[in-house]
Amino acid sequence: MMQPVRTVNILGVPIHAVTTEETLALVDAYMQEPHLHQLATVNPEFVMTAQTDAAFRAVLHSADLCLPDGIGLLYAARWLHTPLPQRVPGSDLIYDLAERCARHGWRLFLLGAAPGVAAAAGTVLQARYPGLVIAGSYAGSPAPAENDAIVARINAVSADMLFVAYGAPNQDKWIARNRAALSTVRVAIGVGGALDFVTGKAIRAPKQVQMVHLEWLYRLLREPWRWRRMLALPRFVLKVVFSRSS
């Protein structure tokens, strides 16, 4: 029986105190169990969205793992005297998960992103990890009208693991509402724009920028239209600072 994972509460959102290696060990265990396990890659934007979106907040509370994706969560946890051991970025984790799928013969389905991106990402991952089985790929949408058809498509190819790239909170809500319906999937994770990074459609910050935790600034400079979403960061900082004194 798996031991419970320590949880850090940041503004009412649970964040699991895990490293990448611990995450992968948990995934290995999840894959042996007869039901779907949901992973969420949480960053400050998730936390701020959850303040006003009760349905999204409930999804995060019900997820099996809420991974500390954003560096802001590590700073916040330290400020709240409940430190997290490591950042676990979803954009890196998907490669580890794809490698695990290739090694164990797990069938991976890629859902979401713009038309053609999921298929292209599958080709890139297969070239990187020989033996990886891409059970299927499909853009689709998180719209309720498409829901049943997409679930049927995934079940028909007996997918074991599922990456969903609809962006938060849509991807996480989509996984949560289909946990029981996805009959063969054992691990599902919302991956945001990670498939765009895999294909080169979007470019991640250079390693030196990532090391100094300024990847968010690099992305803002490349995609200035994101400035409204980035307003969540200063709001997050202020809310965390004042939460400790309240």
User: Would you list the domain boundaries of the chain?
Assistant: 7-199
pLDDT at 25 (0 to 100): 97
pLDDT at 234 (0 to 100): 83
Q: Where are the alpha helices (DSSP H) in the chain?
A: 20-30, 44-52, 54-62, 71-79, 90-104, 117-128, 144-156, 170-177, 194-199, 207-211, 215-222, 227-230, 232-245
**Contacts (Cβ under 8 Å, ≥6 apart) of 224:** none
Summarised one tens digit per residue, pLDDT across range 206-215 is 676 566 565 6
Summarised one tens digit per residue, pLDDT across range 1-13 is 567 899 999 999 9
pLDDT at 59 (0 to 100): 98
* DSSP string of 17-48, one letter each residue: ---HHHHHHHHHHHTTSSS-EEEEEE-HHHHH
pLDDT at 202 (0 to 100): 67
Q: Spell out the CATH class of 7-199.
A: alpha beta
Summarised one tens digit per residue, pLDDT across range 52-90 is 999 999 999 999 999 999 899 999 999 999 999 999 999
pLDDT at 18 (0 to 100): 98
Rounded Cα distance between 139 and 59, Å, is 22
pLDDT at 201 (0 to 100): 81
Rounded Cα distance between 186 and 148, Å, is 18
Determine how β-strand 37-42 pairs with β-strand 65-68.
Answer: parallel
Count Cβ atoms below 10 Å from residue 244 Cβ, excluding itself.
10
Rounded Cα distance between 159 and 185, Å, is 6
Q: Which residues of the chain have pLDDT under 50?
A: 218, 227
Rounded Cα distance between 126 and 99, Å, is 9
Answer yes or no: are the C-beta atoms of 14 and 67 closer than 8 Å.
no
